[in-house]
Amino acid sequence: MADKSHKILIMSTPVGAIGSGLGGGVELNVLNFAKELQRRGHQIEIVAPQGSVCSLPITEIPGAIQIPAQNQLRVDPVLIPCNSVLANMWDYARQAQANYDVILNFAYDWLPLYLTSFFNCPIAHFISMSSLTDAMDRVIEKVANEFPGSVAVQGKVQADTFTFAEKFVYVRNCVDVSAYQFCSQPSNSLAWIGRIASEKGLEDAVAASQITGISLKIFGLLQDTAYWQQIHQQYPEAPIEYMGFLPTYELQQHLGKCRALLATPRWIDAYPTVALEAMACGVPVIAYRRGGLAEIVEDGNTGFLVEPDRVPGLVEAIHRLDKIDRLACRQRAEDEYSLEAMGDRLEKWFADILSHQSK
Ligand code: HBI
């Protein structure tokens, strides 16, 4: 139980409804953070795009979903569609703010950061991606300077993509470990989880599956069908199976039976939740040494780190999987990435913000 319970307004990502998969790992973060904060006695309300599926207190907001930031060019202007759900969400927050002690923002977008100094209620910004555009970098830095301690990132590799890494709070990431069953005896298959989009590098995992002849089970939202078709044309012999975009309970049943998760991002994925989900099932992670994966995977202990974009490295790691103790993967998830551990980091972050505010 928190020493002092707070009222927390949780603003989800505007790129898609919770449960759509468009928000990737952040959808899970919103639900897990909210669940853990509520368990600790805080009063929470989630604000998310219409169509969001969630058993926690939630207000759904209509409007046009936001353009994904990872598709933007560094010099792109800030784009906000007509009848923007992002703008509608933050108009709701403006009206509701008097009932809350702190607003927790998950949107990787210019508007909520720019609005920070217009709000009376303090805003805690959870930055979920690495540096992508100049407009975002500038406004994140502005808020980090004006409201010290109010901007958090997940990991160090992500932070170092910004020129002001020293201004950030670090909260890492988490999964509800109790929702994942440990599996000690896998079948002869590999897993790949993520939005099926080019920045996720699925083709390399498919290539490794074709070379080793080991089946690859693919889980996640089929976001880019052209990219998916292209992979099928490029690797017609690969023994791959698309399992769909599954809810956590079903995902972890299949994931646990896999010998390893292949994590092959082309971009700096801040702190991939899918790697934590695999470890919670006892599944080793074979990952490119890129982004948060380089901080999550302990090479030789909970999986293997491979030179980025080199398929032979993936294949070589697959042949060494017997060296990994699956229980060590589960233990690591319990020790470092539980909701309990995250809850402690969040409460410290909020207390620090509120102590600044009261000065
Ligand atoms: N793009 N504009 C925008 N806003 C977000 O909040 C956002 C995004 N792209 C991806 C995304 N969030 C999440 O899937 C990642 O942060 C995990």
Q: Where are the domains of the chain?
A: 7-174+338-358, 177-336
Q: How far is the CA of 108 from the centre of ligand 1 (A)?
A: 5
What pLDDT was estimated at residue 174?
A: 97
What pLDDT was estimated at residue 3?
A: 66
What pLDDT was estimated at residue 37?
A: 98
Q: How far is the CA of 84 from the centre of ligand 1 (A)?
A: 15
What pLDDT was estimated at residue 176?
A: 96
Q: How far is the CA of 250 from the centre of ligand 1 (A)?
A: 24
Is 7-174+338-358's fold the same as 177-336's? yes
What pLDDT was estimated at residue 4?
A: 87
| Long-range contacts of the stretch 149-152 (C-beta < 8 A, 24+) | 149/349, 149/352, 149/353, 149/356, 150/116, 150/122, 150/123, 150/124, 150/125, 150/353, 150/356, 151/125, 151/127, 152/124, 152/125, 152/126, 152/127, 152/349
Q: How far is the CA of 221 from the centre of ligand 1 (A)?
A: 14
Helix axes 25-39, 339-358, angle to 10 degrees: 80
Atom of ligand 1 nearest to the CA of 107: 6
Cβ of 20 less than 6 Å from ligand 1: no
Q: How far is the CA of 211 from the centre of ligand 1 (A)?
A: 33
Mutate to test the pocket of ligand 1, among 129, 140, 158 (most ligand atoms within 8 A of CB): 129
- pTM for the full predicted model: 0.93
Under a CB-based contact definition with an 8 Å cutoff, are residues 213 and 283 in contact? Answer: no
Among protein residues, the one whose CA lies closest to atom 7 of ligand 1: 108
CA gap 99, 170 in Å, rounded: 27
Atom of ligand 1 nearest to the CA of 23: 14
Q: What is 177-336's CATH number, 3.30.565.10, 3.40.50.2000, 3.30.2130.30, 3.30.420.10? A: 3.40.50.2000
Mutate to test the pocket of ligand 1, among 108, 132, 223 (most ligand atoms within 8 A of CB): 108
∠ Cα 258 171 140 (to 5°): 115
Mutate to test the pocket of ligand 1, among 10, 15, 85 (most ligand atoms within 8 A of CB): 15
Cβ of 210 less than 6 Å from ligand 1: no
Atom of ligand 1 nearest to the CA of 68: 1
Q: How far is the CA of 159 from the centre of ligand 1 (A)?
A: 16
Our measurement of the distance from residue 150's CA atom to the centroid of its chain's CA atoms, rounded to an integer in Å, reads 19
pLDDT profile of the chain (359 residues), mean per 10: 84 97 94 98 98 96 96 96 98 98 98 98 98 98 98 97 98 97 97 94 98 98 96 96 96 98 94 97 98 97 98 98 98 96 97 86
The CATH code belonging to domain 7-174+338-358 is 3.40.50.2000
